[in-house]
Amino acid sequence: MADTADPVDAAGAPDAGSPAASGASLAGDLSLVGTEHDPLVEALALVDGAARRGVGLRLLGGLAVRALCRSYPPRLRRDQDIDLACLSRGRKDVVAYLDGVGCEPDRRFNSLNGDRQMYFTAPSGRPIDVMVDRLAMCHTIDLRPAFGALPTTVDVVDVLLSKLQIVELNPKDARDIFHLLARFPVSGETPPGGWRVTPDEAGPPIAIDRARFEKVLGSDWGWWRTVTGNLAKLPTLAESCDDYVPDGAHIDPLANASRLLEIAEHAPKSLQWKVRARIGEKVRWYELPEEVAH
């Protein structure tokens, strides 16, 4: 469900042969934006249609980042999946809705895995992954606590954590992290350095939920280790590629990352966290997600 190709090496540069290393644009063909070939158009139509029918469906992944950061240059891929999330209590309604709008279910996969993940093919032929309650990759995010916080995507802190939990961070996910950190401050705080431009908020201000961020990282050392490690990489990554920090950034993403590192360091730690911290990196603290065959 997340982009897993082209990992960034320890020095912050993409692997040789990756799109970034070969000079290929991560943004893709910008002429596709807003057309029927733009996956965000189809994804938003599905989510908006579900909302009109009272069905709980939200965007995840790179398309969620685009929906949250619409004023920033988009990352486009013609073959991009649509990643969605729903709650288990509304799963049957989601299945009925997607079937009703012409999405073809993978019945065998869904019958075996539908309690945690479902797979469909959109009318356009684009794959749709629907995560149920949780997103399990290198770490597991419980999407239920803040599922209804935003109308189109899962909560911004969950979108950010879904990117920061990737151990082998790749250029596409790194770019998404920079966009989120350039757009959203920590809740209850003035952005580090202030706003660079007037926020283009259409509704109530959206922010990275500090309490949820602290809770996730303070209860699980593995989560803490991966997220703080990725945040610490960002200055080097920013130097390696000028495409990461978006034009017209609302706030300084590196200052925002530094603030999140401070919050992670001082977050209250659970007993389980402290016990696991004593073991440290002697034992692997993350899962190695595999692509599930559909």
CA distance 260 to 161: 12
Alpha helices in the chain (DSSP H): 39-52, 61-68, 91-100, 107-113, 156-164, 171-183, 210-219, 221-240, 253-266, 271-279
- Whether residue 9 is predicted with pLDDT greater than 50 in this model: the reply is no
Lowest mean pLDDT, pick from 67-76, 85-94, 150-159? 67-76
pLDDT of residue 32: 67
Q: Given the structure tokens 């990489």, which residue do they identify?
A: 233
Q: Write the pLDDT tens digit of every residue in 23-67.
A: 333 345 666 677 777 899 999 999 999 999 999 999 999 999 999
For position 21, what pLDDT does the model report?
A: 31
Is 244 in contact with 174 (CB distance < 8 Å)?
yes
Measured in whole angstroms, how far is the alpha carbon of residue 66 from the centre of its chain?
10
Task: Quote the tokens at residue 94.
Answer: 């989601």
Q: In which element (H, E) is residue 118 found?
A: strand 117-121
* Residue 242, C-beta contacts closer than 8 angstroms, at least 6 positions apart: none
Closest Cα to residue 107, out of 118, 93, 123, 91?
118
Per-residue pLDDT reduced to its tens digit, 101-159: 999 999 999 999 999 999 999 999 999 999 999 999 999 999 999 999 999 999 999 99
Nearest CA among 57, 51, 52 for reference residue 86? 57
Q: What confidence tens digit (pLDDT) does each residue in 236-289 have? A: 999 998 889 998 899 999 999 999 999 999 999 999 999 999 999 999 999 988
For residues 99 and 238, give the distance between their C-alpha atoms in angstroms, rounded to a whole number.
43
Please give the average per-residue pLDDT across 208-226, as a whole number: 98
- Residue-level pLDDT at 197: 60
Q: Minimal CA–CA distance to 116: which of 90, 135, 140, 98?
A: 135
Cα separation, 226 vs 181, whole angstroms: 17
Q: Tokens 């729903």 label which residue? A: 86
Radius of gyration of the chain (CA): 19
Provide the pLDDT for residue 24. Answer: 33
At 266, list the tokens.
Answer: 């001082």
| Average pLDDT over every residue of 172-194 | 91
Domain ranges (residues) in the chain: 30-282
Band of residue 292 on the pLDDT scale cut at 50, 70, 90: low
62 in Cβ contact with 147 (< 8 Å): no
Examine the pLDDT at 79 and tell me if it is beyond 80.
no
| pLDDT bucket at 199, cuts 50 / 70 / 90 | low
- Residue (of 262, 259, 277, 177) closest to 219 by Cα position: 277
pLDDT category at 190 given cuts 50, 70, 90 is: confident
Higher-confidence position of 34 and 4:
34
Q: Report the candidate in 40, 147, 48 with the shortest Cα–Cα distance to residue 101.
A: 48
Mean predicted confidence (pLDDT) in 1-25: 38
